[in-house]
A and B are shown apart, each in its own frame.
Chain A
């Protein structure tokens, strides 16, 4: 099995993006993306777990028998998550106070077990590590984008409390974009997370359906139409409520 790092990177960042491609890990996604900073913190923590668990699983792939692989993977992941949790509690204590509840839950993040099962347990050490990194970055990007949109629209700020995560040196990241903003509370609440996620997914679909260099304009129009109407023009076509 050859290792095509470009494919791995593309898969992790865009095509098979944990959030936008696979629609996995929605629970932490909706819980922590009230602000971009929280999203970034959660994303980095998850990335660390992904890389470490990928490496560990890949390294042990000869030693773990098929029958007990799932408990073994979970054990590895749980160990790493516990380490990350403790490390954050020690070095990023304020952020940990915000995200604390969700860090141990990374164990149950199906994306991590999924990568261990589908990728790391069959690939070489460097490939598994790289895949974990790319998946993690993709996940982090998704969290940051979603968090940023919700934060800007919901409270008019961007990267508030960034100093908690990145240190006081980066406090200039904290921007108040709209002064005297009343706040659009719904977007901060979990339903707002779903709504924004839905629009971001539509955006990704629209980007992918753009007149590609290879396709004709007509084909692209057709694809855009498919994306937007999802067969809804015909009376009663498609299940109701299947929109977002």
Chain B
């Protein structure tokens, strides 16, 4: 405690030690000084109905409908789901499956919208005052606005705001670490719209009914930290900005919480279970727009970067804009990029097709040149142990890989496969270029498939057992009925016999 207060005196908070991590070249200078710019509307917007973790949203418009900007296109009816809104006014020209940035790589149900160019707003809900509105009303507004975690995880934010009903919370953490190289969209957002983000933080803190807020920013973004410090100073909250070391994966929720508080989230638990909820600054900004202006989440800021793109930029893009249009807006690519990614270079996914649209979780589009993503052929593991040193989860990646190669999935699980956060630090440092993360993802996928099969088998078995029980019951009932009938018959017979006997005996008796 004493140390903490000393740190506070010096104006610097103590950051706790976190295991592992790597220092990739951040390449943020490419786009860090590019102000957030708008982009002209595309001729067609494709809005996927699954831009979040959880159940697909269900469409409430039909082909041919005219919709206004901000109008609900689809609503999430399940517990974990999120609504989808029209990014601009126009006509729904198709509802069907279309290629989308989804980890599965499969086409997703998509509403295709032809903008009418008017950009006419729908009737928006009235603004709320976070200081007077009830937490439930705030959470409801966030849910109705289709807001999801915009750092890339895309977990519906309203569900996270409801965590206060399940766990005693004390702190809201704003995760502005932005540890992925190249990405600068959060940096720009904090620099340019700090007040709005701070207000969003207030809304979220009120919705969570917590008073303590920590904004965590990596040390390579001093301007963003300064802007946020100023912005949160006016909040009626115990809010402060903590600068954390620049180290990947500082933005991993549980590791960030450990760096900020020293508290370690138990395996397979939520950070909420130790009292903290973590949100992204872009989410805070979206919450601000939703609460103060009634605007749903229909656009987002993303970074376009990489040495194979002509003009790196930070752009505010309507959801549904095709990737090709964004690249064209940035002057196109320089030759054929070696790799086109959605998200950062560490955990980003390859662009499935440049016709795919931007979704709520797209924080970057990277066109990497061959030099940037060079990876030599894999060589045998020399057990150098670097992967062990850098693993933020304390795993032994080389051993995991060896077991997975031998198809010993259970063995891999025993030494922590499921505790892997797929951050890619091990693959990044491996001097033998072994594709470790690829192997772990393969194993995790295979385990999930095994689980599904097992689940199915169990379900089938359960149904079969139920049927058997039912049949047995029917058979037993039949037997019972038969027995009863038999017994009745026998009783009848006996009675009849007795009567007969009595009849027969009576004369005898009388005779004697």
Contacts and interface: CB of A to CB of B under 8 A. Distances in A.
A binds B: yes
Interface of A: 232-238
B439 to A, nearest CB: 9
B458 to A, nearest CB: 33
A237 B405 CA distance: 6
Contacts of B406: 237-238
Nearest to A236: B402
Contacts of A236: 380-381, 398-399, 401-402, 405
Interface of B: 378-381, 398-399, 401-402, 405-406, 432, 434
Considering the complex of A and B, which 4 residue pairs feature the smallest CB-CB distances, nearest first? Answer: A236-B402, A235-B381, A235-B434, A237-B405
Contacts of A235: 378-381, 398, 401-402, 405, 432, 434
A234 B398 CA distance: 12
B387 to A, nearest CB: 11
Contacts of B432: 235
A229 B398 CA distance: 20
Contacts, number: 25
A147 to B, nearest CB: 36
Contacts of A237: 402, 405-406
Nearest to B400: A236
B409 to A, nearest CB: 15
A142 to B, nearest CB: 32
A238 B406 CA distance: 7
Contacts of A233: 380
Contacts of B434: 235
Q: Quick one: which of A232, A233, A236, A238 has the most chain B CB within 10 A?
A: A236
A236 B405 CA distance: 7
B152 to A, nearest CB: 29
A107 B442 CA distance: 53
A236 B397 CA distance: 11
A237 B407 CA distance: 10
17 contacts: A232-B380, A233-B380, A234-B380, A234-B405, A235-B378, A235-B379, A235-B380, A235-B401, A235-B402, A235-B432, A235-B434, A236-B380, A236-B398, A236-B399, A237-B405, A237-B406, A238-B406
Nearest to B404: A236
B56 to A, nearest CB: 39
Nearest to B401: A236
B219 to A, nearest CB: 35
A67 to B, nearest CB: 40
Nearest to A238: B406
A97 to B, nearest CB: 49
Q: Quick one: which of A232, A234, A235 has the most chain B CB within 10 A?
A: A235
A238 B405 CA distance: 8
